[in-house]
Chains A and B, each alone.
Chain A
């Protein structure tokens, strides 16, 4: 029983981080039809921004906010300067471009921040909470992870569903030509979409780093899990990304707890293959046909 609780709580926390990362991928896919392979190194760079500030004596929270803000700027700049040129062109161009960005950001981070492992602080305890005389495996940082991901998702839903700017962003994503005719500045909406997605990606970077070690490649494995979570949810649906992330986190945690941690990446790929075979559109996709 104790082990099951541990496994599930770990899975939920892990899943929340995957959800955030998957959500960032989905937001960019929906608006620009681009799978952003550079999402992981973008989040890595912004985590380093926080780390540099914290190491210079700033509080964790200053670093946290600075990372999210730099995520916003980084996302906007990358869309406006680099990605704009491949929007609406052949998919392969965008794939090559974001893979190239992946490599460039990696190398640049190693040059600027060094490639050694550096420890990253956590704002809350990373040890299990004590209830009575037993320790439950939910850490303060775990709770923070869940809450912050939920808050960010709530804010995004409020933005997209409840505000005029969210409406314009959706219009620009669903029908750019028509949106232009209606006076929507589509380019600006796409830039904003990338900026917001990059903020969400930055959050996942901070949450993965918290209480652990940071180096230029520390987010790379999250690409695989975040991508699987996004595909699980259909790549189109923000809600699907969240459910996909949580269910992947739980599945992998169960595999790790009961089978062995060395087969976790294998299990993730197995999930991906099974989903693509059984429901190629993802578990939550409303799209029935897909251009190959």
Chain B
């Protein structure tokens, strides 16, 4: 399969949107384009599986290498492995859902959808790039649309949030850029990931470069204490914006931490592994406790994201193969779950015009579909078996436990403790919003989800359930990649 298709489809979609005459055309174009992309991602999954079954044990599949700038040794090197495919699938699902959930946008529809698709394009490119400069290019492409999406279509203190988000992410990018420059000289003027993974980088240089990459990408994925853009950014963003931030942007960071920082610099990872473990177990518990105090649903979900993403960073710091698989599973699970959670919050907000937990109540009676989805998402968040969160968290715990020293054990136990705190805040919020007597007379006439919202919710739920009920396929998809990275760490 030609991977360039994955870039061409969103590009054509984005350009077609610019040519559309009215907002209906725009919406349908965006919808059609994102569905085609989702189908492509699924086809890619099946083609990949077929190749693997046929015995192809290559590290990268469907590779292409196009020279862009000969003098800089810059190659457009693309390819996929199981990890990238899982990320592509996640992105494609979130994009379709995001497009559907934005169906009611009236303000500058064309620009809005153009930016959404552009952001997605950045993510698709990022996940298939195997040249650091190209990867960086796509990372940056995905930042700018966020600024506009929040700044123009956002709510509340949106200018502040947009500035904060973009500046913090830019700071991360700057660190990554410095890291890439370092790599450029170490790697003999070649920043191809595969090339860099084949040369031995001296340990002392790894120790300098690793923090640059890990913190740089970490900012994107709310690495404690660089997480403060998350609550403000999410709460100001429009629904699709929050979904994309949680479902796509934060995953760029996690993927980068693994694919670039840990994969290329295993010695650095070993050096700083304990620091990562400490910071992320703090993030998990601390995030959970801060979440408990939130009264605004979007803030609640944003802080809960900090806590949940903490699991994948914790697992990365644990440096065992199971933990790395778990980290990736948690990224996928968190992406689907949080995107859907934000969507539900958006649906509730559209109807009741409030996001404050204490102003809501008894919505189960008027919106059975929406509140059922809220329940399922909440249960996924607190790790109920049968849903994706459980599978991911358990893989993280089992993987973490394989480090048999007291330090790692204590960190794991601390992290596991959050399953109790999570239950507290999720049940408080969900119980208050959905259950109890109807809080406001005016809510009695509200309507339940419409077709677009139902379809979008079902797509994301399908993802959550397919991982939760039959986790084997995702595990098989992620394990080979995790094994390669693990071999780098153990030095095989």
A and B are partners in one complex rather than unrelated chains: no
Interfacial residues, chain B to chain A (CB-CB below 8 A): none
Q: State the A residues within 8 Å of B (CB).
A: none
